[in-house]
Structure 1
Amino acid sequence: MSSILGRLKRPILYVMAPAYVVAGILHFVVPDLYAQIIPPLLPFPLALVYLSGLAEIAVGVGLLVPRTRQYAAWGTVALLLAIYPANIYMATSGVVIEGLSGGGDPSALVRWGRLPLQGVLIALAFWYTKPTNNV
């Protein structure tokens, strides 16, 4: 089993890293969509959207550079933990996201599915925090 996972480590990296860059760019393209799921108790939602977008771009690029991969992986873990409250808020508040294509009311599956997905993403990022020569 570990040999199968070992063979998947590089391809997963080359999907994961660009996905973070694209997600980060989207924070600048449609920031209002992201701002709507920031819990109201957090100040300056738009600034937080831009900051998290910048962080996603940085970790995505950092994951692709062998010299910075471990640091970027730790940064990814930290980022995913930092944005988890937005996912909890989205799941529990019933917020209707204005401007969302296909309608602004994500299904319960989408709302609640993001929570365990975040755990999977954290586990994947953690996988790259360990030094390795084969990735």
Structure 2
Amino acid sequence: MGPGYVVAGLLHFVVPELYAQIIPPVLPAPLALVYLSGVAEVAVGLGLLWPRTRQYAAWATIALLVAIFPANVYMATSAVVVTGMPGGGDPSAVVRWGRLPLQGVLILWAYWYTDPELATT
């Protein structure tokens, strides 16, 4: 789980315009929010790698997933055309809507790491 968040976070710096497209327009400074969420993803990813910080990083991961959920809802419900996707093309409706329940799965996965016994192994 940790390496996945590190990679995802680094991608925010490699292709920030991809992520900026799905920031809801009611939020200010989309590019700054992309960079901030990228830093947060790298931080939680690294925190998940070490037993000493794993439990805290898991709670932070849950908070991060809740914080970015509006972007996923916006992507699913708006007519925004997302450009710059790997493989090209705008994501299908299945992909857009599939990200919403995936957030729940990721939250449950992170919650599993909040178990003190699991966090120290």
Q: Is the 8 A contact 1:63 1:73 kept in 2?
A: yes
| % identity of equivalent residues | 76
Q: Secondary structure at the match of 1:68?
A: helix
1:90 CA displacement: 0.3
Measured in 1, the distance between the counterparts of 2:89 and 2:74 equals: 15
Number of positions where the alignment pairs a residue of Structure 1 with one of Structure 2: 120
Change (3 A) 1:101 1:128: closer
* Two-structure CA RMSD over aligned residues (Å): 1.2
Counterpart position of 2:23: 38
Q: Which runs of 5 or more structure 2 residues have no equivalent in the other structure?
A: none
Counterpart position of 2:93: 108
One-letter code aligned to 2:62: V
4+ runs deviating over 3 angstroms: 101-104
1:99 CA displacement: 2.2
Q: Which runs of 5 or more structure 1 residues have no equivalent in the other structure?
A: 1-15
Deviates more, 1:68-77 or 1:124-133: 124-133
1:77 CA displacement: 0.1
Q: Give the number of the structure whose alpha-carbon radius of gyration is greater.
A: 1
Measured in 1, the distance between the counterparts of 2:76 and 2:41 equals: 22
Counterpart position of 2:57: 72
Q: Is the 8 A contact 1:95 1:105 kept in 2?
A: no
Q: Secondary structure at the match of 2:69?
A: helix
Counterpart position of 2:112: 127
